[in-house]
Structure 1
Amino acid sequence: MATRPRVSVAVTIDYEALRREPDLEAHDLIAYDATDQLLVRRAAELRDNFSGEKPGDTVVIGERHGAITLSLVLPQEQGGHGLTGVRVFQDTLLNERALMCNAARLGLEGEFPFTREELGRDLVKGAKTVLLQLPKSLDELAEIAYWVATNADPEATLIAGGRVKHMTLAQNEVLSRFFTTVQAERAERKSRLLIATGPVDDPADPPFPVTGVDADLPFALHAYGATFGGPTLDHGSRLLLRHLPEIAPEATRIVDLGCGNGSLAVAAALARPTAQVHATDQSWAAVNATNATARWAGVSDRVTVTRADGAEAVGDGWAELMLVNPPFHAGQVVSEEIARTLIRGAVRALAEGATILVVYNSHLGHRAVIEREIGPTQQVARDRSFTVVRATKR
Structure 2
Amino acid sequence: MSLDLNTLSPFPDSGDAAPRAHDAADRLLLDESVTERAGLRRGEVVVIGDTYGALALSVAAEAAETGVTGGIVRVHQDSLLGERALARNAAATGHAASVASLALDAELVRGARVVLLRLPRSLDALRDVAGLIAAHAAPEVVVFAGGRIKHMSLGMNDVLRERFGRVDVTHARQKSRVLIARGPQDGVDPAPARAEHDGVVVCAFGGVFAGTSIDIGTRLLLDHLPEAIPGAADDAAIDLACGTGIVGATLALRHPGLRVYASDESSAAVASARATAAANGVDDRMSVARDDALSALPDASASFVALNPPFHRGSAIDETIARHLFADAARVLRPGGELWTVWNSALQYRASLERLVGPTRQIARTPKFTLTASTRR
TM-score, normalized by length of structure 2? 0.94
Indicate the residue corresponding to 1:235 in structure 2: 216
Matched with 2:256 is 273
State whether residues 118 and 146 of structure 2, in contact with CA within 8 Å, keep that contact through their aligned partners in structure 1. Answer: yes
Q: Partner residue of 1:196?
A: 181
Asked if the contact 2:117/2:145 (under 8 Å) is kept, the reply is yes
Q: Choose from 170, 174, 177 the match for 2:159.
A: 174
Counterparts in 2 of 1:317-336, with a 5 A limit? 317-336=300-319
User: Are the counterparts in 1 of residues 132 and 190 from structure 2 also a CA contact under 8 Å?
Assistant: no
Q: Does 1:364 align with 2:347?
A: yes
Moved over 6 A (4+): 76-81
Q: Please say if 1:57 is aligned against 2:44.
A: yes
User: Is this contact kept in 2: 1:74–1:82, CA < 8 A?
Assistant: no
Counterparts of 1:206-285 in structure 2, within 5 Å, are: 206=189, 208-214=191-197, 217-246=198-227, 248=229, 252-285=235-268
Unaligned 5+ segments in structure 2 are none
Q: What is the CA distance between 1:190 and its match in structure 2?
A: 1.0
Which residue does the alignment assign to 2:6? 16
Q: Using the alignment, how far apart are the partners of 1:108 and 1:207 within structure 2?
A: 30
Shift of 1:348: 1.2
SS of alignment partner, residue 177 of structure 1: helix
Q: Are the counterparts in 2 of residues 266 and 293 from structure 1 also a CA contact under 8 Å?
A: yes
Say which is worse superposed, 27-36 or 79-88, in terms of deviation: 79-88
CA shift, 1:28, in A, is: 3.3
Cα-to-partner distance string for 1:125-145 (whole Å, 9 max, x where unaligned):
111000000001100000000
Judged with a 3 Å threshold, the aligned counterparts in structure 2 of structure 1 residues 245 and 152 are, in CA distance, closer, same or farther, namely same
Instruction: Give the alignment's TM-score, normalised by structure 1.
Output: 0.90
- Residue 124 of structure 1 corresponds to 109
Instruction: State the superposition RMSD in angstroms.
Output: 2.0
How many Å separate the matches in 2 of 1:114 and 1:250? 44
- Tell me what 2:324 maps to: 341
What is the Cα deviation at residue 22 of structure 1?
3.7
User: Residue 82 of structure 1: CA displacement?
Assistant: 5.6
* Secondary structure, aligned partner of 1:363: helix
Residue type at the aligned position of 1:121: A
Deviations 1:116-158 (A, max 9, x none): 2111211111110000000011000000000111111111100
Contact conserved, 1:74 with 1:83, CA < 8 A, in 2?
Answer: no
Residue 134, structure 1, aligned to residue 119, structure 2: yes
Residue in structure 1 matching 2:85, options 87, 95, 98: 98
Shift of 1:249: 5.1
Aligned counterpart for 1:354 among listed residues 324, 333, 337: 337
Q: Secondary structure at the match of 2:296?
A: coil
Count how many residue pairs are aligned between Structure 1 and Structure 2: 375
Task: Return the alpha-carbon distance in structure 2 between the equivalents of residues 96 and 83 of structure 1.
Answer: 22
How far does residue 330 in structure 1 lie from its aligned partner after superposition?
Answer: 3.0
Instruction: Give the distance between the partners of 1:211 and 1:345, measured in 2 at CA.
Output: 31
The DSSP-based 3-state class of the residue aligned with 1:345 is helix
In 2: Cα distance, 1:80 partner to 1:31 partner: 26
Identical residues among aligned pairs (%): 42
Distance 1:23 1:66, change over 3 A: farther
- The 8 Å contact of residues 80 and 266 in structure 2, kept in 1 or not, is answered as yes
Amino acid at match of 1:366: Y
Q: Structure 1 residues 326 and 137, CA, compared in 2 at 3 Å: closer, same or farther?
A: same
Match of 2:17 among 14, 22, 27: 27
Query: Could you tell me whether the CA contact under 8 Å between 2:57 and 2:99 is conserved in 1?
Result: no
Looking at structure 2, the residues matched to 351 and 266 of structure 1 have their Cα atoms a distance apart, in angstroms, of 23
Deviations 1:211-264, CA, capped at 9 Å, x for gaps? 0112xx322100111211111211111101111134645564311111100111
Q: Equivalents in 2 of 1:16, 1:55: separation in Å?
A: 22
Deviation by residue 1:180-215 (Cα, 9 ceiling, x = unmatched): 111111001111000000123x35x4462110112x
Question: Once the 2 structures are TM-superposed, how far is the Cα of residue 329 of structure 1 from its aligned partner?
Answer: 2.1
- Name whichever structure is richer in helix by fraction: 2
Equivalent-residue separation in structure 2 for 1:152 and 1:78 (angstroms): 26
Q: SS state of the match for residue 347, structure 2?
A: coil
